[in-house]
Amino acid sequence: MKKGLLLGIALAVAMLMAFSLAQAKTRFVTIGTGGITGVYYPTGRAIAKMLNKRKKEYGIRATVESTGGSVFNVNAVMNGDLEFGIVQSDRQYQAINGLAEWKTKGPQKDLRSIFAIHPEALTLIVAADSGIKDIRDLKGKKVNIGNPGSGTRQPAIDALEAAGINYKKDLQAESIKASEAPSLLQDGLIDAFFYVVGHPNGAIKEATSGARKVRFATITGMEKLLATHPYYAKTVISIAMYPGVQNDKDVETIGSKATLITSAKVPDDVVYAITKEVFDNFEEFKKLHPAYATLTKENMLEGLSAPIHPGAMKYYKEVGLIK
């Protein structure tokens, strides 16, 4: 009896110790994404889900945060508020080189890349009754160019400038989040909005399924911009993804890529774990969103301008993706 009690107590103590050890070892990491109707948010969730499946093994618990977008994510990862962020490849380039939004702050030296994800297009969605067909027709219109934390804003400004439009003088620019733009367009409060985003996505589905008819406007004549900004490339938006849209052919525009970034301060084993789970389960990952249709393990290493984090590099070398 006494022996049994002692054994019971010893067992309870051992279990408690094991439990608190496991608790102490769990590290919490957060992935910064974008608005919930974009592609970043479901992407962050897909990555977190893969990592959390092996929570016991890695001692890591990942959560996802909806944020203002790329620029917010770079800054939040740099100041330690987030461990990971999804960021446009063009903003990654600007941040590591201290350009555009980072001109006064200077190069973000601790910025590290992990992998690239889906392609994103500079999408210009307009009300059909506005008469806008191309970016050049935006003069005098009420246009959402995106909130300051978004990755949409600067590419929109770059394309407007390339089209000879000064966003401060030649149009009525709004600075709201992309997740709020579809209802403003439907309510007649804006004529058009820009969104750098993968396709298909919830925001454009929302914008194209209301009573007010909408179309994609083309973003053409960008040759000079492409020559001086190597991280943008020509792309097309497939209209087949949006049955309600008033276009009769696919839409010419420019775009870049979504990428996963982190900080040099995030431990190697944490970055290794996130990289391994996504790449080891690549086929499963690819099925999680239609925007990943063109992904290959090889093109997930293209478009990275910040140094690759050593934790990710360890995995790429192990599997021979990088020699």
Nearest distance in Å: CB 7, ligand GLU: 56
Work out whether 152 is an interface residue with ligand GLU (CB under 6 A).
yes
Task: Identify whether the C-beta of residue 87 lies closer than 8 Å to the C-beta of residue 94.
Answer: no
How far is Cα 15 from Cα 95, in angstroms, rounded to an integer? 47
Query: Phi/psi at 244 (nearest 5 deg)?
Result: -80, -5
**Of 30, 32, 34, 141, which one interacts with ligand GLU (CB under 6 A)?**
34
Query: Position of tokens 């925007």?
Result: 291
User: Based on CB atoms, which residue is closest to ligand GLU, 256 or 263?
Assistant: 256
**Of 29, 30, 31, 38, which one interacts with ligand GLU (CB under 6 A)?**
38
Q: 3-class SS at 249?
A: coil
Residue 273 is given by DSSP the state H
**Of 85, 151, 200, 311, which one interacts with ligand GLU (CB under 6 A)?**
151
Site string for ligand GLU, 236-265 (x = CB under 6 A): ------------------------------
User: Based on CB atoms, which residue is closest to ligand GLU, 150 or 275?
Assistant: 150
Which ranges in 236-309 belong to alpha helices (H)?
268-280, 282-286
Nearest distance in Å: CB 242, ligand GLU: 15
- The region of 22-30, 93-101, 165-173, 192-200 touching ligand GLU under the rule CB under 6 A is 192-200
Query: Phi/psi at 110 (nearest 5 deg)?
Result: -85, 0
User: Based on CB atoms, which residue is closest to ligand GLU, 69 or 200?
Assistant: 69
Residue 308 is given by DSSP the state B
> By CB under 6 A, what part of segment 69-108 binds ligand GLU?
69-70, 88
Beta-carbon contacts of 281 under 8 Å, excluding residues fewer than 6 positions away, are: 50
Residues touching ligand GLU: how many (CB under 6 A)? 15
- The region of 49-57, 125-133, 191-199, 228-236 touching ligand GLU under the rule CB under 6 A is 191-199
Query: Position of tokens 């479901």?
Result: 42
Q: What's the maximum distance between 2 C-alpha atoms anywhere in the chain? A: 90
Work out whether 39 is an interface residue with ligand GLU (CB under 6 A).
yes
Nearest distance in Å: CB 11, ligand GLU: 49
Q: 3-class SS at 105?
A: coil
Nearest distance in Å: CB 76, ligand GLU: 12
Report the amino acid identity of residue 117: I
Angle (CA) 14-20-25 rounded to 5° is 125
User: Based on CB atoms, which residue is closest to ligand GLU, 30 or 130?
Assistant: 30
Beta-carbon contacts of 263 under 8 Å, excluding residues fewer than 6 positions away, are: 77, 78, 80, 83, 110, 111, 112
How far is Cα 144 from Cα 195, in angstroms, rounded to an integer? 9
How far is Cα 242 from Cα 224, in angstroms, rounded to an integer? 30
User: Based on CB atoms, which residue is closest to ligand GLU, 130 or 262?
Assistant: 262
User: Based on CB atoms, which residue is closest to ligand GLU, 151 or 303?
Assistant: 151
**Of 89, 92, 123, 150, which one interacts with ligand GLU (CB under 6 A)?**
150
Q: Which of 116, 117, 115 is nearest to 312 (CA)?
A: 115
Q: Residue 32, Cβ neighbours under 10 Å: how many?
A: 28
User: Based on CB atoms, which residue is closest to ligand GLU, 150 or 218?
Assistant: 150
User: Based on CB atoms, which residue is closest to ligand GLU, 52 or 66?
Assistant: 66
Residue 135 is given by DSSP the state G
**Of 125, 196, 254, 300, which one interacts with ligand GLU (CB under 6 A)?**
196
**Of 65, 90, 120, 191, which one interacts with ligand GLU (CB under 6 A)?**
120
| Residue ranges in contact with ligand GLU by CB under 6 A | 34-35, 38-40, 69-70, 88, 120, 150-152, 196-198
